[in-house]
Structure 1
Amino acid sequence: MKTVGAYEAKTHLSQLLDEVAAGESITITRHGVPVARLVPPTDHKRKNAVEAWERWIAYRKEHNITLGDGVTIRDLIEEGRRY
């Protein structure tokens, strides 16, 4: 994990963000004391979406729900946005 001072973080933020996007974690210090950490985003949204999809599939099977001919998931999403 890389450590940088607050002034350096301020002046080189774009470069630091590139490093974080590449997977690096960076601790920002003020007078040698850690005050913040830049970390790559986690994959929680994707994980939550996969879990929701799996629950939907299980629910459909349990309740014998079919989408119908020609109906797509996109159609259902768009229909839900109307309300």
Structure 2
Amino acid sequence: MAETVNLHAAKTHFSKLVDRAHEGEEIIIAKAGKPYARLVPLAPTRQREFGFLAGQVEITEDFAREAMRPLTEEELADWE
């Protein structure tokens, strides 16, 4: 069950409350005794792994040759 903390106490102990929320607790912040806001942990983010498409993407020689050719004057002008 979430703990309810008065706004004044929340301001005084904000850093500790954030640490507790980070650990998984839910903290309800009350203003004048009424629930006003909820402090909850963020959902964990997933780290991207280098090479996660390995074996799923094939770069052909024709594609590589086309991708590495110098741009034409018209293509250069389009970039400007």
- TM-score under structure 2 length normalisation: 0.56
- TM-score under structure 1 length normalisation: 0.55
1:13 maps to 14
1:5-56 deviation per Cα after TM superposition (whole angstroms, max 9, x unaligned): 101101111211121121111010101211111111112x317x47xx86xx
Match of 1:46, as an amino acid?
A: R
**In 1: Cα distance, 2:32 partner to 2:12 partner:** 16
**In 2: Cα distance, 1:34 partner to 1:65 partner:** 57
The percentage of counterpart residues that share the same residue type is 41
Indicate the structure (1 or 2) with the bigger Cα radius of gyration: 2
> 1:2 Cα shift?
0.9
Match of 1:31, as an amino acid?
A: A
**In 2: Cα distance, 1:14 partner to 1:23 partner:** 15
- Indicate the SS of the match to 1:9: helix
Structure 1 portions without partners, runs of 5+: 67-83
Structure 2 portions without partners, runs of 5+: 61-80
**In 1: Cα distance, 2:22 partner to 2:4 partner:** 16
What is the count of residue pairs matched by the alignment?
58
RMSD: 2.7
